């Protein structure tokens, strides 16, 4: 890996994969029967998965990487209330009570691999541009526009103080997004859309 492709520690630790939320929507509507390639195809039909590389084999690898990275992040976000089985050929969302033995294996080599953004084979700037494009597509998908929000208003929506760290902001975003996601019980599409706008303002400062 070249020096230009090295990723900062803070980027590796705090980068948010915007595919978490469309994948959650898909899995809430159909909890089982998914493979990485069928999930990628479905996200493409929703216009949330663009072509990532001119070379077909690299495009396939990058799609798989982004989806697996999002699945592992989503698994942590949902745990322990729900269990997300992350297997390339068998992706299943299920309630925890079906099998209380499900635990997150932090030493799983696949989790380790797909959690490391340098394996995507791009510089930090390129990955950020990619994720910005994904986020723009998702905001359009949920009907968002951030023209009326500033940082202070966004922090108030998150119920955070002005000097909140990015870690605190990201943790609060995930908690609120999970609570208000329209496909969750007692979710609220308009509240979720507004929170998406607040996160769009705050995430750009990372």
Give mean pLDDT, residues 166-184: 91
Full-model pTM: 0.84
Residues of the chain with CATH 1.10.287.110: 148-205
pLDDT at residue 142 tops 90? no
User: Where residue 177 falls among pLDDT bands split at 50, 70, 90?
Assistant: very high
Q: Specify the CATH number of the domain 148-205.
A: 1.10.287.110
pLDDT of 92-131, one tens digit each? 999 877 676 788 998 999 999 998 888 888 788 888 888 8
Q: Which of 179, 44, 70 is nearest to 131 (CA)?
A: 70
Cβ atoms of 63 and 70 closer than 8 Å: no
According to the model, what pLDDT value does residue 27 have?
A: 96
d(CA 92, CA 98): 12
According to the model, what pLDDT value does residue 145 have?
A: 64
């Amino acid at each position: 890996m070249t020096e230009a492709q090295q990723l900062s520690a803070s980027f590796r630790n705090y980068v948010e994969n915007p595919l978490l939320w469309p994948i959650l929507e898909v899995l809430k509507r159909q909890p089982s029967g998914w493979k990485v390639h069928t999930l990628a195809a479905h996200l493409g039909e929703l216009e949330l998965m663009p072509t990532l590389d001119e070379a077909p084999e690299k495009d396939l690898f990058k799609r798989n990487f982004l989806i697996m990275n999002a699945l592992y992040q989503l698994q942590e976000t949902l745990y322990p209330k729900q269990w997300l089985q992350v297997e390339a050929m068998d992706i299943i969302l299920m309630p925890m009570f079906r099998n209380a033995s499900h635990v997150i294996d932090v030493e799983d080599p696949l989790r380790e691999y797909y959690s490391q953004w340098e394996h995507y084979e791009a510089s930090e700037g390129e990955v950020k541009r990619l994720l910005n494009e994904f986020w723009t597509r998702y905001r359009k998908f949920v009907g968002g526009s951030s023209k009326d929000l500033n940082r202070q208003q966004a922090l108030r929506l998150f119920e955070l103080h002005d000097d909140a760290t990015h870690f605190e902001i990201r943790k609060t975003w995930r908690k609120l997004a999970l609570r208000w996601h329209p496909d969750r019980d007692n979710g609220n599409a308009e509240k979720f859309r507004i929170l998406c706008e607040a996160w769009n303002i705050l995430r750009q400062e990372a």
